[in-house]
Amino acid sequence: MSSENLFEAVIKLDDKDLSVILKDGTEGLVVKISEKSKASRRVVLSVPLSGLDELKKAITDAQKASRGKTSVNKTTASAAAPAAKSARAARPPREAREPREAREPRERTGDPEVVSRSVYVAGLTWETTEEQLKTHFKKAGTVVKATILMRRRGREMVSRGCGVVEFRNVAEAERAIRDLTNSELDGRPISVREDRGDIARGEGVARPESAPAANGAEEKASRPRRERGGGEAREPREPREPRKRLTDAEKVLEPKMVFVSNLSWDTTSEVLTNVAAPFGDLKSLNILTTKGGRSVGHAVLEYARESQAKEAMERINGKEVDGRTLVAKEYYSIARN
């Protein structure tokens, strides 16, 4: 009796074709699974029909076992996550860096006697030279020295728009503050105040245009660069001393002057002059500015008589200008020893 194929199916698994055939032959009904290719067919498994249930059961068990294996892997992974987190938490913390040592306050420079007869000038154009600055301030007295403050920009030293002028005596310095504040130099109004001796201000270096590069810059260039990472921590900085408030003995009331605060940064000298001039003979008006020439919201007015300054203080206080309510009060200067 010849065998007869009662059923045939082809299953594609990866790059192989498995052929499943149900045969009716001398041995009865048999299922044969063979690996099929273009040239040949190789029988892999031959199972009697009566054994298919056992084969099916074995395959089902194998599937269950594989699913259990996958579940075990997932459980292991999920259980490992908290363990890893706990391990990280158990690690000893890194050593905290020591706090930096505070920088020492910048020392005041210059002889106190020289500082007392010097004035600080702001609002200069970048093109103004020391000779032009000196000539302008000769109107107030004998100029001993005029210095344009400089800063480094790349390889060049450029003006910072401010300077210091030294006079022969204190009276001439006071006259310069009184008479030359808001005067025009090179097309720009300038502000003048007493010098405070802090010539090395902010960034850059204060020096005459003709002076050589500062030693500090050369020292900085000669220092070896710190290696990246793993270097020694900086020592903690020493805290700066709090700014000392002036005592009554160190303050001198200027009865002809008025201090105005809470100005808008946009308020100009012209606008403030229109506000202050109706109350008397306004001798000078100085809007205080930053090193960059921007208003800090304060101004100092000086009148010819005490009564005028008193009236101005009462009338300006509470007045609204450029959207800001002004505050006017007495002005004190620093007592000179």
Max intra-chain CA distance, the chain: 142
Coil, strand, or helix at residue 137? Answer: helix
Average pLDDT over residues 231-236: 60
Res. 213 pLDDT band, cuts 50 70 90 = very low
Closest CA to 268 of 204, 312, 195, 321: 321
**Residues ≥6 apart with Cβ < 8 Å to 304:** 256, 280, 281, 283
Q: How far apart are CA 275 and CA 255, in angstroms?
A: 19
Question: Which letter does DSSP use for residue 107 in this model?
Answer: P
Q: How far apart are CA 194 and CA 165, in angstroms?
A: 10
Cβ contact 23:34 at 8 Å: no
With tokens 């920088």, the residue in question is 103
Q: How far apart are CA 279 and CA 306, in angstroms?
A: 11
Amino acid symbol at 148: I
Backbone angles phi, psi at 58, to 5 degrees: -65, -40
Q: How far apart are CA 126 and CA 306, in angstroms?
A: 38
322 pLDDT higher than 50: yes
Average pLDDT over residues 53-63: 81
Give 268-311 pLDDT, tens digit per residue: 988 999 999 999 999 999 999 888 888 888 999 999 999 999 99
Give 80-133 pLDDT, tens digit per residue: 555 555 656 666 666 666 666 555 444 445 578 888 899 999 989 888 999 999
**pLDDT higher at 260 or 98:** 260
Q: How far apart are CA 330 and CA 310, in angstroms?
A: 9
Coil, strand, or helix at residue 13? Answer: strand
Helices (H) and strands (E) in the chain, counts: 7, 17
What was the pLDDT predicted at 54?
81
The span from the first CA to the last CA of the chain, in angstroms, equals 137
Number of residues assigned to the chain: 337
Coil, strand, or helix at residue 131? Answer: helix
Sheet holding 295-303, edge to edge: 282-289, 295-303, 251-261, 327-334
Cβ contact 139:160 at 8 Å: no
Radius of gyration of the chain (CA): 45
| Tokens linked to 52 | 């298919």
> 10 Å Cβ neighbour count for 210?
6
Predicted model pTM? 0.33
Q: How far apart are CA 199 and CA 218, in angstroms?
A: 19
Q: How far apart are CA 204 and CA 157, in angstroms?
A: 8
What was the pLDDT predicted at 151?
86
What was the pLDDT predicted at 204?
37
Backbone angles phi, psi at 156, to 5 degrees: -110, 160
Average pLDDT over residues 188-216: 58
SS3 content of the chain, % helix, strand, coil (to 5): 30, 35, 35
**pLDDT higher at 221 or 243:** 243
Beta-bridged to residue 21, according to DSSP, are 8, 32
323 pLDDT higher than 60: yes
What was the pLDDT predicted at 310?
93
